[in-house]
Structure 1
């Protein structure tokens, strides 16, 4: 006769997915810590596999802690192991060298730093954010969030970190969102909130006939000129201003990349109406955002980003139809949106001729 346990409807079940979700933050912090210590940089610079002892000395960490960290990185398939004469050594995978080292051509290092030192701390207060319906900068960092970007750019160091984050994202996703539609007819382009110019550089690369003016806050422009702008970027210029308050220059195309998701619907329509007024007849606006499915079933990344907007901003991620409604409310027509298959998607709306 079967025991009660054997006949239970739960017998043999194992909540693998739930356990993986419970431990998801362990994975993130393992990745963050390896980057912060410079483990992947040391392995890349060595040009050969290194032992745990070699790595621990190079990064200034305990041997025991380094051994455990390296083992976990192997389990995450971020490192490869090599055994010779009973001695274990480690090396980067090709993907790790490309994305997780500071000098990698498509590095996400700065994005990881920002996730670890800013976003992770805000997410500690996610429960409060859900209960209160507002961002958590005050609890996380002791700064008022009455002015969103005063909180976001609460120090020069934090501003540079945020701008480096934007650079790393557009190096990976920028060309896809800019080529989702044919933007070649637009020669005079204004990138509102274009930050350090990473997306603008992708734009002038994809469309060599265009010129891009970045419109951003004065201290963002000054920091961009100091840390990010290259003299070779002669097709990229800057204008200092607040796009909610100051006059916008006339252009054929306006790019708002990861801008509207920071704001409420009312503020979005306010900004888009200002863009519509400044836009040349027959011109357009390109929105770059992580689009949610219309039935709210996904994608998971955009759903999680929407929670991040809750803990960090006044805004949210939206569906293509919701962005279309915002554009239409501001006067734009012939609105289309396209998925890229990556993190960010594209929405295009036109001003009638």
Structure 2
């Protein structure tokens, strides 16, 4: 008998694809509206082949996504929020990103092992050139990142305690999941997302959707080439894990130079345990960072070191109840350290 942990690892590719196909064909949308049905009734309602559907449902049941009740299939209680499009925890946009963008890149790992990433990718476009090559690709990416970030951003904004902040600079903030959550929580706050020009219409859509008006602004630029606007709070939400230590140090130093005295920087990231033995999601995404970006995931101590070297003081770590956490560094009140 194959050990259970190895068995789930071997067959994990089936689970991801099953989630994607079920989402595409409305299976989860149907099950969120009905309290469990037989494969026959679901197939009839969705006008899909019953035999194929039942095989799909059996895989999802074996992975614990569904909880069979006799001949009926029911969403597992703890799974429901993540497959319900109306819930802010909806995760299937990220699954779409995995299938549409990540799966095809696994073939590159062999070359990385043989010659290293830099040599293997020498003649290829950079990861973000590929992601931002047209508006459809940008939209898919930003949709996936919103799904991964928006729900936890409410908790992270509360952990940050922005009650005394006035101007948030959301560096590489995409369509604004953290900015939107922070603006809802702190009425005195204004936010500016600093990102590539292609992001502007997607941010404008979110600002309108959430009724934020001119409290949520946009500044177009390349954060490696252009200066950052001034502010008293700088947010790096899942940005630093895209880059190596040298690039991260440069970005944090830019934020330090633009940060008003007494202000702060917020780093929001998945964190490795101190011994780098987990968590699973961090280890998996650390591998994904290798071919999707130029970065990696780090321990809290590594981020605190980066903050100290950039000039930020009193670094603190605040853990959320999810898999993304908060590290804070402070800009001292004195102008003499500029």
TM above 0.5, yes or no, is yes
2:331 maps to 1:351: yes
Distance change (3 Å), C-alpha of 1:300 and 1:130: farther
Distance 1:340 1:44 in 2: 27
Distance change (3 Å), C-alpha of 1:300 and 1:108: closer
Q: Structure 2 matches for 1:93-112, cutoff 5 A?
A: 93-112=76-95
* Equivalent position to 2:212, from 207, 223, 233: 233
How many residues get paired? 332
Deviates more, 1:48-57 or 1:104-113: 48-57
Deviates more, 1:214-223 or 1:73-82: 73-82
Q: In the TM superposition, what is the alpha-carbon distance from 1:203 to its structure 2 partner?
A: 0.7
Aligned to 1:335: 315
Residue 137 of structure 1 contacts residue 151 of structure 1 at CA under 8 Å; is this kept in 2?
no
Distance 1:174 1:245 in 2: 28
Task: List alignment gaps of at least 5 residues for structure 1.
Answer: 1-12
Q: In the TM superposition, what is the alpha-carbon distance from 1:14 to its structure 2 partner?
A: 5.5
* Equivalent position to 2:253, from 273, 290, 311: 273
Q: Structure 2 matches for 1:1-353, cutoff 5 A?
A: 15-45=3-33, 47=34, 49-83=36-70, 88-134=71-117, 144-146=124-126, 148-226=127-205, 229-230=208-209, 232-234=211-213, 235-353=215-333
Distance 1:138 1:34 in 2: 34
Q: In the TM superposition, what is the alpha-carbon distance from 1:200 to its structure 2 partner?
A: 0.8
Task: Give the SS at the match of 1:280.
Answer: strand
RMSD: 2.6
Residue 88 of structure 2 contacts residue 151 of structure 2 at CA under 8 Å; is this kept in 1?
no
Task: List alignment gaps of at least 5 residues for structure 2.
Answer: 334-338
Q: In the TM superposition, what is the alpha-carbon distance from 1:349 to its structure 2 partner?
A: 0.8
Q: In the TM superposition, what is the alpha-carbon distance from 1:180 to its structure 2 partner?
A: 2.6
Distance change (3 Å), C-alpha of 1:250 and 1:160: same
Distance change (3 Å), C-alpha of 1:231 and 1:345: closer
Distance 1:263 1:204 in 2: 27
Deviates more, 1:66-75 or 1:281-290: 66-75
Structure whose CA Rg is larger: 1
Normalization by structure 1: what TM-score? Answer: 0.85
Aligned to 2:336: none
Normalization by structure 2: what TM-score? Answer: 0.88
Aligned to 1:3: none
